[in-house]
A = this chain, B = another copy of it.
Amino acid sequence: MRKTTLSDIAKYVNVSKTTVSMVLNNKNINVSDETRKKILEASKELKYIPNSVARSLSTNKSYTIGFIVPDIENPFFSEMAKAIETESEKCGYSMILCNTLNRGEREYEYIKLLISRLVDGVVIVPSGESNEALELLSANDVPFVVADRKVESNEKYNGVFCDNNKGIRLGVEYLMNKKVGNIAFVGGLIQGVDTRLGYFEEISLELNILDKDLIEEEEFSMGGGIRATERIMNKNKDLKAIFYSSDIMAIGGMKYLIRNGYKIPKDINILGYDNIGFSSFIEPELTTVAQPIYKMGEEAFKLLLKSINNEHSPVETIILEPYLVDRETVK
């Protein structure tokens, strides 16, 4: 079988190819309603797919956006993807998802792909390896919004972030108020200017509770949470709380602790970050610093749409507020 063409429809309805093209592209043309109807029906029947690439070369719109994420297996990002998708669908946009596995060169390749495929815009959670991908988007004049992770020269780009400084402060103060004693921190292996680990160090220094020996860095995954927790526990410090910079790390860490005979929160308090759906399904349920994940996706799409619809719209940065969700892992 081969792809249905305008000629096939023209033959089927017995009109000229130009008439078919004019009707399908909603151009003004002097044609009876009956013929118009026949052409539309025939295009459906013959399963005609407009070559929207060719079309978008002339109309300059594809009604498609790309969403570039570091790791789609992390529920934080799949939840955000759902948000962007739901919001974009409301406005007649489709969303294409690309997974960079946190690697700069994949990010760059996907952006080349998306640009050459003529998406109208891109929401990107940067891998953090470099700004090259963002520069590529800029250089090609593709509207885009940076989400979740700040980058250097952040003010140059549209961005939607959650206030990490405030979130970490919320978490530390919450643990301090509970008088838990020594707090360990597990940061994510990520480069950038706005890391939760950086804020934790800053705030603990300020509060005079910083012990660098109790800080670990690992990848944002359950496996990363397990490895970091094992290293921390092997130091045999008098430890009363671990603050993880993501829920999936905390879930991994809890697994390690439970398997090694610790009771949570009796023996050790656990605090997560993100508030992904799974955090209330594990036992005990995870106390965590929540990010408004859906909101972040929604705002990112809205900002992108603004930028798509008006190329002169000023660069905007939206900062959302984190909040504490008190469940069962801090006593």
Q: Is the CB of A52 within 8 A of B113?
A: yes
Question: Which of B96, B101, B222 is within 8 Å of A277, CB to CB?
Answer: B222
User: Quick check: is A141 within 8 A (CB to CB) of the other chain?
Assistant: yes
- Which residues of chain A from 277 to 302 have any CB-CB distance to chain B below 8 Å in the complex? 277-278, 281-283
Q: Is the CB of B116 within 8 A of A50?
A: yes
Q: Is the CB of A4 within 8 A of B97?
A: no
Q: Can you name 11 A-B residue pairings with CB atoms under 8 Å?
A: A46-B139, A49-B136, A51-B116, A52-B113, A53-B116, A72-B81, A73-B75, A73-B79, A82-B99, A94-B109, A96-B96
Given A53-B117, A118-B53, A255-B281, check contact A136 B96 (CB 8 Å).
Answer: no
Report the Cα distance A49→B117, complex, angstroms: 11
Chain A residues within 8 Å of B, Cβ to Cβ: 1-4, 46-47, 49-53, 57, 64, 72-73, 75, 78-79, 81-82, 85, 89, 94-99, 101, 106, 109-110, 112-113, 115-118, 135-136, 138-141, 222, 251-252, 255, 258, 277-278, 281-283
Report the Cα distance A148→B315, complex, angstroms: 44
Closest chain B residue, CB of each to CB of A135:
B47
Q: Is the CB of B94 within 8 A of A97?
A: no
Known: A64-B113, A252-B281, A255-B283. 12 other contacts (CB 8 A): A1-B140, A1-B141, A47-B135, A49-B116, A49-B136, A49-B140, A51-B116, A64-B117, A73-B75, A73-B78, A73-B277, A78-B78
